[in-house]
Amino acid sequence: MLTWSTNEPNELLPVLIAQTTSDLIAAQLRQEILRGQVSPGSALRQEALAKRFSVSRIPVREALRALERDGLVAVHPNRGAYVVELSVEQIEEITDLRILIEADLIARSVPRMSDTDVCAVASAAAAAAAISTTPDWNEGDRRFHEIMYVPAARPQQLAIALALRRSVERYWAIYGQLPARRTEWLKDHTNLVAACRDRDVKRAKRELVDHIRRAGEFLVERLQASGQWAKS
C-alpha cells in the first residue's frame, strides 16, 4: 500500500511500506470513522469485525489498539471498544490547541519555504479543491495543511497537530462542514497559498488562525444544535 514518508525536512515522497493484516483493518476502520460512516459512540465488536474481515480476533484486537492510540477508539475492559465521543468542551479545547500548535508551525515554516515548497503548497491546494466534492475531501485538506508545515522541520510538533486534527475530522464529515462552507473553505486555502508565496508570516498566521477558529465554531454550533453533546 502506498503511504507517505518524509525523506528530507521539506520533502514528502511516496514509498512502499509493508502492512500487516491488523494495519489494513485499522486503515479501513480509520477511514470509515473519519468519514463519519461509523458514528461517535458506536460499538466496535471484535467478533463482528473478525467475521467481516474473515480473520481471527487477534488482528482485530491489534487494529483496535492502534485506533485507540490514534484517539479514535476507547477500549474498555469487559465492555469492548467504542468510537470516541467528544463533548463541546473537548472540541473547544482541541480548537484552542490546534491554533497554538499550527500557528507556531506556520510561523516557523513560511520563512523557510523555497520556491519549490511554495509550488508544493499550491499544488496541494489545487488537489484539495479537485476532490472537495468527494468523500475524500478531508484527506485533501489534511494533506494541504501538512505540506504547509513540513518546511518548519518540526516532525514531533507536526505529528501532534495531525493527531489533534484527526480527533475532530469525523465530526466535520458527520455535520457536512465542507458542503456547507465549500466556497469559504477554498478561499481560505487560496489566501494561505498567497501568504506563503509572499513569505508573509503575519498574514499566513492570521489567515490560518481564523480558518481553524471558524472550523471549531461551526462544529460547536452543530453539536449544540443536535442536543446530543450539550455543555455540562
Distance CA 56, CA 49 (A): 9
Are 82 and 43 contacting, i.e. CB atoms less than 8 angstroms apart? yes
The verdict on residue 232 lying in a domain is no
For the record, the C-alpha cell of 112 comes out as: 523557510
In this structure, the answer to whether residues 120 and 202 fall within a common structural domain is yes
Residue type, 26: A
pLDDT reported for residue 36: 75
Distance CA 210, CA 225 (A): 22
- Residue 194 has a pLDDT of 98
Same domain, residue pair 49 and 159: no
Classify residue 9: in a domain, yes or no: yes
pLDDT at 136: 78
Helix (H) or strand (E) segment spanning residue 99: helix 88-109
Query: Residue 50 sits in which domain range?
Result: 2-83
- Closest listed residue to residue 192, CA positions, set 123, 121, 97: 121
Grouping H, G, I as helix, E, B as strand and the rest as coil, residue 157 is helix
Tell me: do 214 and 181 sit in the same domain.
yes
Clarify whether residues 164 and 218 are in a common domain: yes
- Do 135 and 221 fall into the same domain? yes
Assigned domain for 231 exists: no
What is the rounded distance in angstroms from the CA atom of residue 173 to the CA atom of residue 109?
Answer: 28
Q: Do 77 and 47 fall within a single domain? A: yes
Asked whether residue 118 falls in the same domain as residue 204, the answer is yes
The kind and range of the H/E element at 11 are strand 11-16
Choose one of 83, 108, 123: the last residue of a domain. 83
Please give the grid coordinates belonging to residue 2: 502506498
Last residue of a domain, one of 66, 83, 100: 83
Check: CB of residue 57 under 8 Å from CB of residue 161: no
Q: Please list, in sequence order, all residues whose beta carbon lies within 8 angstroms of the beta carbon of residue 78, skipping any fewer than 6 positions away.
A: none
Shared domain check, 200 and 137:
yes
Concatenated DSSP letters of 26-93: HHHHHHHHHTTSS-TT-EE-HHHHHHHHTS-HHHHHHHHHHHHHTTSEEEETTTEEEEPP--HHHHHH
pTM for the model: 0.73
- Taking the C-alpha atoms of residue 18 and residue 114, their distance in angstroms, rounded to an integer, is 32
Q: For position 11, what pLDDT does the model report?
A: 46
Distance, in Å, from the CA atom of 203 to the CA atom of 196, rounded to the nearest integer, reads 9
Decide which of 62, 83, 104 is a domain's last residue: 83
Look at the chain and report how many structural domains it folds into. 2
Which cell numbers in the block locate residue 124?
Answer: 496541494
- My answer on whether 31 and 60 are in the same domain is yes
What gap in Å lies between CA 81 and CA 41, rounded to an integer?
9
pLDDT tens-place values along the chain, 232 residues long: 334 444 444 444 444 445 789 999 999 998 888 777 887 888 999 999 999 999 999 999 999 999 988 778 889 888 899 988 888 899 999 999 999 999 999 999 999 999 999 999 999 999 999 988 887 788 888 999 999 999 999 999 999 999 898 888 777 666 555 555 778 888 999 999 999 999 999 999 999 999 999 988 888 887 777 665 444 3
128 and 222 in a single domain? The answer is yes
Residues 134 and 213 in one domain: yes
- Residue 103 in any domain: the answer is yes
Task: Match 478531508 to its residue by C-alpha cell.
Answer: 138
Strand partners of residue 15: 3
State whether 119 and 190 are in the same domain: yes
Residue 112 resides in a domain: yes
